[in-house]
Structure 1
Amino acid sequence: MNSPEMVSTSPKTQCRRVDNGSEDRISCLPDSILCQILSVLPTKDAVATSILSPRWKHAWTSVRNLCFDDELSVMGDEVSGITVAAFEKFVHSVLARTHPSSVEKFSLRCSYLRSLGMFDYWVSSAISRNVREIEIDLRDHERIPLPASIYRSITLEVLRLRSYFALTLPPDGVCFPRLKTFHLMLQQPTNHLPHNLFSRCPCLQHLSLTVYFTAANPASNLIISSATLKTFVLEVMYCSHSSAPNQHTVTIVAPNLEFLDITDDLAVSYAVHQLPSLHKAVYYVMFSEWPPIDRRPPVQLLAGMTKTKCLTLSAGVLHALNRRGDNIFPQFSALTYLHVTVGQFGCTMLPTILGCSPNLHTFVLHLSDWYVLNDEQTRWTDTATVPSCLSDHVNIIEINGLGKENSHMRLAEYLLNHSRVLLTMTVRCKPSVDGKTLENLHHRLMGLHRGCASAFIHLTRWVTWP
């Protein structure tokens, strides 16, 4: 077998011929292009290219993305392949041998961290190289403090903390002066921390926050206040429903917020100031069947979303609203797009919700496959007053998850019959619907009266069940 043969190149690059005689074109690329290619690889793979040839020996030292993951090194409680110590040595070696003054991304996923000082050194090293993005996941480690240098970084724009950390904010002044995107997990947070943190981030635009409460938590009011925030994703987790958890409150003050996504199990109450810039809101409630939970939070939160143009509600939200027994729903005058999921309960809220959305144009109804929608839940279709949005504005309707149940067909009939300006109704049946059932459903749909005679009905089977 012939050894690689060097061919004439420019002084800065060297091409070679591989064993089959063809030219190694990748090695002919400029250093800057090789660096971009290596930067999209995990760092361990980028370093491994150093054995390919002299041309590649030092190419990896210019990568701008440093991504470390010990997942392949440690399997459970046993060490596989390289040891934990070897992984730490590898990170140290890479940080010592790479030389770009500007690091684009530093990512660390680590299950076994033996030294807090070592962790500080790794992160501080990235900060000293003007890193733009940091992502850290220490998995099951106890909360450890972040290096003090991270709070004052003038280049950090993206920070994703995918495990719990102990945050020790500087006593005064700005925190994270250039940070735009922040993913944070808080465990049993104190009152002052969120307010002191987010209100001191002058450039924050995108916030993703997971908050974990326990029954031992004292009552708290978490204030999310930011004049620059545009998107906010909040997940509230509560460990037990053995006692009523609504002692906690989340206050949102974000006048420029455009997108709000909240997942909650009704563990907190809400105080939402008017959000005049809100364009899209998603509200997902888990565990709405727990009896000790107060049903006020959904109304509190929805009352702060009334300026939105697009709204998505889970079956849990409708279930919680329905259990109040008063069918209260705020007025959504600006709403043009509504996506609602209906489960075993909550379907009786539909006429109220539609009635409070007078300018609605697109209505998406998702029929959950987790529970059977009984006939009692759809009896309102015979007597309810027709919402004005159906007769005046709704021109697109989607029904997802249609089955052969009579309750499903009654909902489709109600919407098709009362939508006077409807252009298109798209109906997607459950994937479990066989060919014969699909044909029968098509025949039934085509036989229904249409409020708009020219409305087009498209029936298909849902290939991918979400």
Structure 2
Amino acid sequence: MANLAYQESNVSPKRPKFSDEETCLDRISQLPDVLIQHILSFLPTKEAVATSVLSKRWLWVWTSVPILDLEDSLFCKTDERLRIDFMQFFTKVLIFNKVASLDKFCLKFNAVYHPWYVKTCFWAAVARDVKELDINIQGMENFPLLKLPCALFTAKTLHVLKLNHGIELDVPGTVSLPCLKVLHLVWIKCRRDESVSRLFCGCPVLQELLLKNLDCDNALNFNISIPTLKSLFISFFTGQVSCKLKINAPILQYLNLQANLPQLEYDVEDVSSLDEANVTVSLLGNHHIPLVKALCNAKFLSFNWDWYTIMHNFKTYPLFLNLVRLELNVGYGGWSVLSRFLESSHNLKVLVLAKNANCRGLGLECRWTPPKYVPKCLPSSLTMVYFRGFEGLRYQLSMVKYILNNAGVLKMMDICTNGISDMPMDSKFDMLRKLSMFPRGSKACQLQFN
């Protein structure tokens, strides 16, 4: 029987041979429309439309893709013919795309088109019950800002809204975005502070908020009281004179704050669920005390400041009982906070120390005063220490010596001299010799010097 089957297979008609590309194309073409549309959704719309030339099977598949991702050319800013071509292409896409509900509408273009045309894009997205809207307008130097249509602020299906450059935020009296979970505002002009607050109030399920370099006519006063917020990223525009930031987010898990405003006032009511916080400021001063105290429940903390710190009024730090990883990217004269953080972090496991890049290579000595009493974390919990930008200065050697001598369960001290690669090799060997001679409180501690 086996031989008969073999013989029958030999006499069957021979199939035509296809090239590897044709075979691959044939396999993809045999997939159901839903899978092909899903594959095309990962491509920019221009490339998805281009697949229509492959065969009759592919001619209209792109018209059912629920994602529109369009970007004009950099040359559209100066070439009118290219602008017309892009507008015609975009118009045809809207006409032929037959999806009633869009999963995503992404549009990136130069600010050279008439405002009515751009508003048409917004209307088209809202009319298609879009779930994610991402608008990025480039090159606004000599063009008026775009005002958003009121219909956008009552889009019932919108889950993600990202607005980047070239837009004036003037929120109407009625805002109802019941499904919006992600909101990004980058380089947006705000005519009134209440516009931002009104927008937040109309987002009852907002979970992720990004505010970057908002430009306001008046002083910035942000009241971020959002009970559903889990992730918050804020970067303040350096040109602002005064600003007040109020945060009340009881289930917030992640905070990233970048603020170079010397007169920024903080009013942090409730961030009790915070897991991770990253704070970058130009000067760590007394006005940051309310912020630092509010972060006491975090597990991971990172502070980065440029030059020095002035926190004389902060005599007693809060207890950071949940803190397991602390990163300090310290500016000149700011190492005094290290002792205070060590004293307040009883369960600290990982410590990352770095000299701010603005201060590396200057050879500036700083004062560092060790704690009066050995912090609880040193003999009991601290297992890993990383020191970046090490220059072998007296205060740095003193800090390393103190930690090595008192860290009873330390497993590794990793010291890296990045940023000072021009140091002579003899100096590096001499530095390594000094470090290796320091007494160690943990017999298991390994010293790595890079």
Give the TM bin, normalised by the shorter chain: 0.7 to 0.9
Within 2, Cα distance between the matches of 1:98 and 1:457? 62
Assess, with a 3 A threshold, how the Cα gap between structure 1 residues 57 and 210 changes in structure 2: closer, same or farther: same
Alignment of 1:323 with 2:313, yes or no, is no
Alignment of 1:252 with 2:247, yes or no, is yes
Q: How big is the shift at 1:271?
A: 0.9
Alignment of 1:44 with 2:46, yes or no, is yes
Q: How big is the shift at 1:166?
A: 2.7
- Counterpart of 1:34 in structure 2 is 36
Assess, with a 3 A threshold, how the Cα gap between structure 1 residues 147 and 17 changes in structure 2: closer, same or farther: farther
Within 2, Cα distance between the matches of 1:327 and 1:348? 12
- Counterpart of 2:212 in structure 1 is 210
- Counterpart of 2:298 in structure 1 is 308
> Superposition pairs for residues 136-155 of structure 1, below 5 Å?
136-141=135-140, 142-155=144-157
- Counterpart of 2:236 in structure 1 is 236
Secondary structure in structure 1 of the residue aligned to 2:156 = coil
- Counterpart of 1:199 in structure 2 is 201
Within 2, Cα distance between the matches of 1:88 and 1:237? 34
Deviation digits for residues 27-75 of structure 1, max 9, x if unmatched?
Answer: 333322221222111111111222223232222212222111113442x
- Counterpart of 2:7 in structure 1 is none
Count the aligned residue pairs: 425
Letter in structure 2 aligned against 1:363: L
CA contact (8 A) 1:146 1:165 kept: yes
Gaps of 5+ in 2: 1-15
- Counterpart of 1:280 in structure 2 is 276
CA contact (8 A) 1:375 1:407 kept: no
> Superposition pairs for residues 50-449 of structure 1, below 5 Å?
50-74=52-76, 77-79=77-79, 83-141=82-140, 142-172=144-174, 174-185=175-186, 186-188=188-190, 190-213=192-215, 217-239=217-239, 245-246=241-242, 248-267=243-262, 268-286=264-282, 288=283, 295-316=285-306, 319=307, 322-326=309-313, 328=315, 330-334=317-321, 335-372=323-360, 374=363, 376-381=365-370, 385-430=373-418, 432=421, 440-449=430-439
Gaps of 5+ in 1: 1-14, 290-294, 462-466
Within 2, Cα distance between the matches of 1:219 and 1:17? 69
TM-score (ref. length: structure 2): 0.85
Within 1, Cα distance between the matches of 2:222 and 2:403? 41
TM-score (ref. length: structure 1): 0.82
- Counterpart of 1:6 in structure 2 is none
CA contact (8 A) 2:71 2:109 kept: yes
Within 1, Cα distance between the matches of 2:18 and 2:425? 59
CA contact (8 A) 1:16 1:23 kept: no
Letter in structure 2 aligned against 1:228: T
Letter in structure 1 aligned against 2:180: L
Assess, with a 3 A threshold, how the Cα gap between structure 1 residues 162 and 213 changes in structure 2: closer, same or farther: closer
Alignment of 1:457 with 2:447, yes or no, is yes
Identical-pair percentage: 28
Assess, with a 3 A threshold, how the Cα gap between structure 1 residues 189 and 436 changes in structure 2: closer, same or farther: farther
Within 2, Cα distance between the matches of 1:165 and 1:357? 44
Letter in structure 2 aligned against 1:367: K
- Counterpart of 1:464 in structure 2 is none
CA contact (8 A) 1:67 1:106 kept: yes
Q: Which moved more, 1:182-191 or 1:261-270?
A: 182-191
CA contact (8 A) 1:131 1:156 kept: yes
RMSD: 2.9
Secondary structure in structure 2 of the residue aligned to 1:224 = strand
Within 1, Cα distance between the matches of 2:65 and 2:424? 54
CA contact (8 A) 1:70 1:110 kept: yes
Within 1, Cα distance between the matches of 2:223 and 2:265? 12
Q: How big is the shift at 1:249?
A: 0.8
Assess, with a 3 A threshold, how the Cα gap between structure 1 residues 117 and 357 changes in structure 2: closer, same or farther: same
Letter in structure 1 aligned against 2:65: V
Within 1, Cα distance between the matches of 2:271 and 2:23? 63
- Counterpart of 2:10 in structure 1 is none
- Counterpart of 1:11 in structure 2 is none
- Counterpart of 2:9 in structure 1 is none
Letter in structure 1 aligned against 2:231: T
Within 2, Cα distance between the matches of 1:41 and 1:349? 50
